[in-house]
Amino acid sequence: MPSYRIQVYGWLLLLPAAVLLVAFTHYPTVTTLVQSLFLSGTATRPAEFVGLENYQFMLEDDVFWQAVRNNLWFALGTIPVSIALALLMALWVNRRLPARGLVRMAYFTPTILPMIAVANIWLFFYTPRIGLIDQFLGLFGIPSHNWLGNPETVLACLIVLTIWKEAGFFMIFYLAALQSLPPELEEAGRLEGAGRWYFFRRVTFPLLMPTTLFVAINALINSFKLVDHLFILTKGGPNNASTLLLYYIYEVAFSFFDPNYAATLTVVLLAFLALIAIGQFVLLDKRIHYR
Amino acid sequence: MTATTATLAAPPGERIGRILEIGAAWLLAFLWILPLLYAVWAAFHPGAYATRFEPLAPLTLENFATAWRQAPFARYFLNTFLLVTSVLVAQFVLCTLAAYAFARFRFVGRDVAFALVLVQLMIMPEVLIVENYRTMSQLGLVDTILGIGLPYMASAFGIFLLRQTFKTVPKELEEAARVEGCSFLQVLLKVYVPLAKPTYLAYGLVSVSHHWNNFLWPLVITNSVETRPLTVGLAIFGAPESGVNWSVISAATLLAVAPLLIAFLLFQRQFVQSFMRAGIK
């Protein structure tokens, strides 16, 4: 093929996907930035350019800070535990285990269930008095507790649910990585008389580092984009104690009808994601050493 | 088999450790499946037994009938089905073409274009609901099934996955097809696509389960029974304001997850392997 035809064909093949990607990823990213500089218009008044006024308002907005704080706690609460559990699950399922197929299925099942559906079920777990958790704790004489109605415990409830939902998904990545490790390693370890814990700490875990990194980044992104459970369980309450950034954006845009302030908040979310992307880029350099 | 003999031969301390470990693995598995078991319990028993666990409680299908009567689940199923299939078909076509371009055509700006595609891995459509809603209302696509699916149809993940696969196809195969007079589109359809079947299966399963379960964007963009997918319908149905009882909500929840769950139980191995394949980069 002559080279100009390669050029044309290449771009033509790319065109349909490129149009949609630009329309729903790049273009809205840019307009988010632009809209954040305007005040939302009303039926009688068009949107008005106000410079950084929305940002100033945001910095003084207690709910925004609460959402950011919650989001960071939410990330901190979910990521390490779900990664540790995922690794444990993968190590268990990767070895010989009675009823291994069933166990693996149990671990993985939450992944394919919609968050909305499982939130319905978990709502019942957390219900005071008649809920499963209170019934269970009641056996030990522990009084009932309004888990989701208390600002002290509500975020922890969301964290537990999210760990349950995600751990099995992350297990898959560890499982794939474990199965790609050469089996001679473990034999060599056994011949050398290395204990299992020692072998895991010094051999398996370091070799799994790229996977851990990949999973951690995925978990971090998820903690910023996964808010479905809030719609069923808490609606961000009580008193914004469980609101997350994306949920707050949704509320501002579609309940308070202030799309421009929502755009301002979205800029912050985009900034977080950009930071993650840069962090990933820097860490990826290190990842090569393990290959 | 070797495991049992190895366990028996091991010193008693190690054997106890092994038993504890198996117990812990099972306990965790039980905890992980418990919410689903509970939903099954509540859905198949009368409302009075939703919180009382008596082994001889009477079984019933009444909750499913009630749920089916109280909300247009048949319509929601249809909407979700239309959404999932239209997204999947569009993703296959668009991602195949784009991946082929990236894998086998040296055109000016290719690397920049690829980097721009990868941006979507970080900035997913979920994050841009505010501005995408604005675009959809300008296009007149608010409250349409096409409006739900459109932002997802060009998928960076799909392009990336297929590009990786296409790159592993030996160039000689393509050249042989060329010699026989195939056009470049025929080469794509006769050489590349058949060889990428496992990738299509993996990506397809991941995509279907993602869009079957997706909630936030469909919630934003739909406002009528004719377009709402199951997840949004279920959220409205289960809202505490609606005053529906637990057993009925559990039944509705099981209805909504049943097709995917049954498919998963039947094809567990393929599901797990697909997610694995999609995850290895």
CATH number of the domain that A160 lies in?
Answer: 1.10.3720.10
Calculate the CA dihedral of residues B65, B69, B70, B76 and round it to 10 degrees: 100
Domain extent for A165? 48-290
A102 is written with which tokens? 């069933």
Count structural domains, chain A. Answer: 1
Partner A contacted by B244 (CB < 8 A): no
Question: Which region, left, alpha or beta, applies to residue A58 given φ > 0 means left and ψ of -120 to 50 means alpha?
Answer: alpha
- DSSP-derived secondary structure letter, A122: H
Q: Is residue A148 domain-resident?
A: yes
Partner A contacted by B80 (CB < 8 A): no
Contact state of A116 with B213 under an 8 Å Cβ cutoff: yes
A114 is written with which tokens? 């919609």
Name residues 59-88 of chain A within 8 A of B (Cβ): 85, 88
Which of B150, B253, B261 has the CB atom closest to A112's CB atom?
B261
Which is higher by pLDDT, A195 or B86? B86
Asked whether the beta carbons of A21 and B117 are under 8 A apart, the reply is: yes
- How far apart CA A206 and CA A97 sit, in angstroms, is 24
Q: Is the dihedral of CA A273, A275, A281, A285 positive or negative?
A: negative
If you average pLDDT over every residue of chain A, what do you get? 87
Contact state of A246 with B260 under an 8 Å Cβ cutoff: no
Taking residue A129's Cβ as centre, other Cβ atoms within 10 Å add up to 12
**How confident is the model at residue B1, as a pLDDT?**
41
**How confident is the model at residue B5, as a pLDDT?**
45
**How confident is the model at residue A36, as a pLDDT?**
92
**How confident is the model at residue B217, as a pLDDT?**
95
Of A61-65, A169-173, B11-15, the range with the lowest mean pLDDT is: B11-15
Reported confidence tier of residue A193, pLDDT bands at 50, 70, 90: confident
**How confident is the model at residue B240, as a pLDDT?**
64
Q: Which of B14, B63, B128, B255 to substitute to test the interface with A, most A CBs within 10 Å?
A: B128
**How confident is the model at residue B52, as a pLDDT?**
73
**How confident is the model at residue B99, as a pLDDT?**
95
**How confident is the model at residue B132, as a pLDDT?**
94
Q: Kindly report the CATH class assigned to B72-279.
A: mainly alpha
Asked whether the beta carbons of B120 and B155 are under 8 A apart, the reply is: yes
Q: Is residue A275 domain-resident?
A: yes
Which is higher by pLDDT, B48 or A57? A57
Q: Report DSSP letters for B5-41, one per residue.
A: HHHHHS-HHHHHHHHHHHHHHHHHHHHHHHHHHHHHH
The structure's pTM equals: 0.89
**How confident is the model at residue A130, as a pLDDT?**
75
ipTM of the predicted assembly exceeds 0.95: no
- How far apart CA B234 and CA B240 sit, in angstroms, is 12
Reported confidence tier of residue A230, pLDDT bands at 50, 70, 90: very high
Alpha carbon of B275: minimum distance to chain A alpha carbons (Å): 7
**How confident is the model at residue A96, as a pLDDT?**
84
> Strand A48-49 relative to strand A38-39: parallel, antiparallel, unpaired?
antiparallel
Contacts of B275 in chain A (CB under 8 A): 111, 169, 172
Reported confidence tier of residue A1, pLDDT bands at 50, 70, 90: low
Task: For residue A85, give the nearest of A167, A18, A25, A190 by alpha carbon.
Answer: A167
Indicate the length of chain B as a whole number: 281
Task: For residue B216, give the nearest of A25, A123, A250 by alpha carbon.
Answer: A250
Q: What percent of chain A has pLDDT over 70?
A: 97
Contacts of A131 in chain B (CB under 8 A): 51
A38 beta partners: A49
Task: Spell out the alpha helix ranges (H) of chain A.
Answer: 3-21, 27-35, 53-59, 62-94, 100-112, 115-126, 132-138, 154-180, 183-191, 196-199, 205-207, 209-225, 228-233, 245-254, 259-287
Chain B CA closest to residue A172: B276
- How far apart CA B193 and CA B185 sit, in angstroms, is 11
Which of A20, A35, A109 has the CB atom closest to B150's CB atom?
A20
Residue with tokens 């919609």: A114
**How confident is the model at residue B280, as a pLDDT?**
56
Task: For residue B144, give the nearest of B29, B38, B221, B76 by alpha carbon.
Answer: B221
pLDDT tens-digit readout, A23-53: 999 999 999 999 999 888 777 778 888 888 8
Asked whether the beta carbons of A229 and A158 are under 8 A apart, the reply is: yes
Contact state of B35 with A18 under an 8 Å Cβ cutoff: no
pLDDT tens-digit readout, A99-142: 888 899 899 889 888 998 899 888 888 887 777 788 888 888 78
Which parts of chain B sit beneath pLDDT 50?
Answer: 1-8, 281
Helix (H) or strand (E) holding A48: strand A48-49
Alpha carbon of B189: minimum distance to chain A alpha carbons (Å): 13
Contacts of A164 in chain B (CB under 8 A): 31-32, 35
Domain ranges of chain B: 2-66, 72-279
Asked whether the beta carbons of A264 and A248 are under 8 A apart, the reply is: no
Which of A14, A31, A116 has the CB atom closest to B131's CB atom?
A31
Q: Is residue A5 domain-resident?
A: no
Q: Is residue A167 domain-resident?
A: yes
Which is higher by pLDDT, A145 or A2? A145
Task: For residue B117, give the nearest of B168, B161, B84 by alpha carbon.
Answer: B161
A35 is written with which tokens? 């809209």
Contacts of B42 in chain A (CB under 8 A): 124
Contacts of B129 in chain A (CB under 8 A): 249-250, 253
Q: Is residue A150 domain-resident?
A: yes
